[in-house]
Amino acid sequence: MTVARTPRPVPFQNIDSDRGFTLIELLTVVMIMGVLMAIAVPSFLSARRPAQDRQAQTLLRTSIAAVKTVATDDTALPSRAALATAEPATVFVDAATVAEARGRAVSVDAGTSAGSWYLIVASHSSSGECFAALERADTATGYQRVQSADCRAGTFDPALGWTSTW
């Protein structure tokens, strides 16, 4: 005759222990993710500003190349219409309009000084910087960089503040 044995319970065994995470485990994971985000977000934002500035600078360099092309072909003061034909991917606006680099827009001001023509192109970066370039018939290209929301080519003086780099 065999006697049926009933299994003895194992001490300290909790049958429901495999069904989820404890509150402490969840809070620890959330805390670790918060620390990682606190490290990553400022790094991401600091890398974004130079990229926005570079976008405006590249747009102006492309515009200056179009100015040189039109000026070489016409040997006269380039117009906005001629620039738009030479560089159709860029929107050329008048000297009184703020041009945003994210919209691929460039503000253009043209004139004559001391018997030769000049052309100023300006574009506003999303970072808040205003970049401008001055192309003259008789000198090298000049550059300016200012912290301003009012980024119009007409606000720059063709005789003052131009340097060889941004």
- Each residue's pLDDT, cut to its tens digit, for the chain (166 residues) gives 666 677 666 666 555 556 788 999 999 999 999 999 999 888 887 888 899 999 999 999 999 999 888 877 666 778 888 899 999 999 999 999 999 999 999 999 988 887 788 899 999 999 999 999 999 877 889 999 999 888 999 999 998 999 999 8
At 42, phi and psi to the nearest 5?
A: -60, -35
How far are the Cα atoms of 6, 34, 39, 166 from residue 31, in angstroms, in the given order?
Answer: 46, 5, 13, 42
Query: b/e for 65-95, b at 16 or more Cβ within 10 A?
Result: ebbebbbeeeeebbebebbeebbeebbbbeb
* Whether this model's pTM surpasses 0.75: no
